Amino acid sequence: MANTFTSATLYEFTAFRRKYRIASLDKLLRKALVAEKICNVDRSGARYINNPYGSQPTTEVKAMDGTYTVNTFTVLEDTLQVTDEFVIGEHIFDFEESLAKFPLWKNRIDEQNNSIATSIDKWCLNEVCERANQTYTTPAGGFTTAANIPVIMSNLISKVSGYADTYNGMFLVIENTDVPGFIQSQAASGFSYADAALNNGFMTSYMGVDIYVVRTGCFADLTATGAAGSKTWTNDGHRVFGVKNVATYAAPRGVRYEEKLVTEKTGMEIATYGYVGFSFWVTKYDLGVDITIA
């Protein structure tokens, strides 16, 4: 049999890689993205998402006389606009794939998926931190001091308590360097909780707050010329706390993948890309807390 590939065979190989890539990315997005767990995700395909809101009325309390005062109100527009693109492009030469001792295309797909998922997560988390209206500065030592943990958590919870949206649940995003203080505090807590912490290690819920851990450097100072795209962040040394599902990030058409033949080059060019927009709605700003580590 001749050692040749028909166009149908090439199509089957490409289709198989597409299926692998989609399965790989879907699994990664479900497990890796903190933003997926704390934000409302919109994949409707809309470039604009509108959230109009009106000024708050004031209720008058007075003696009964059957009259009232007519007041004016205003309606304001709050809009999420998709303006940023996340993209990776690489070329795998045929000799690289043919002579490699492992499936090179599989490795590149996994690496691209991981890179774009991490970038989206970092982008969204810094946006949440940047838009949060409330602020809190930790006691000296921050989260790394075990004795600080109950104090910090109780103060953070009090910041959003009383709002109806808290039924969605609360979250705290920390970096991996903050974990030791939590583990020590959890291990020294009451019997059942401490036993669970000692047996299972770091527990991802504390005082009813879901805790998510990202790698150090996630919260950063970046400008429009950096990885932040069209955004500017000043979040180095910060963490973020808030109520779940009150911020929205839009990912129209999701994350996509392409393979292309390139003239004068053997092999295939592969690209992974997606479009993302974010909004922490103005009316919900007080449900986010920008934490400064002291």
Q: Consecutive sets of 10 residues in the chain, 294 residues long: mean pLDDT of each?
A: 41 61 63 82 75 79 89 80 88 87 82 86 91 96 94 97 93 94 84 64 83 92 64 91 92 80 90 87 92 96
Contact between 160 and 171 under an 8 Å Cβ cutoff? The reply is no
Dist CA 156 CA 51 (whole Å):
27
pLDDT for 1 equals 38
pLDDT for 275 equals 87
Dist CA 200 CA 101 (whole Å):
38
Residue with tokens 């890539």, as numbered in its chain: 21
Q: Is 172 exposed, middle or buried (0-12, 13-18, 19+ CB in 10 A)?
A: buried
Dist CA 235 CA 130 (whole Å):
7
**CA proximity to 243, closest of 285, 288, 290:** 288
Dist CA 104 CA 228 (whole Å):
29
The structure's pTM equals 0.80
Domains of the chain: 7-292 (3.90.1690)
pLDDT for 97 equals 84
* Structure tokens, 167: 């039924």
pLDDT for 228 equals 55
Sign (positive/negative) of CA torsion 89, 94, 96, 102?
A: positive
Contact between 287 and 128 under an 8 Å Cβ cutoff? The reply is no
The neighbouring-strand residues paired with 90 are: 270
- Count of residues for the chain? 294
Beta-carbon contacts of 204 under 8 Å, excluding residues fewer than 6 positions away, are: 210, 211, 212
pLDDT for 258 equals 86
Residue with tokens 């000024």, as numbered in its chain: 55
* Structure tokens, 278: 């974010």
Half-sphere exposure of 135 toward its Cβ, with a 13 Å CA cutoff?
7
Dist CA 294 CA 276 (whole Å):
33
pLDDT for 145 equals 95
Contact between 241 and 247 under an 8 Å Cβ cutoff? The reply is no
pLDDT for 245 equals 92
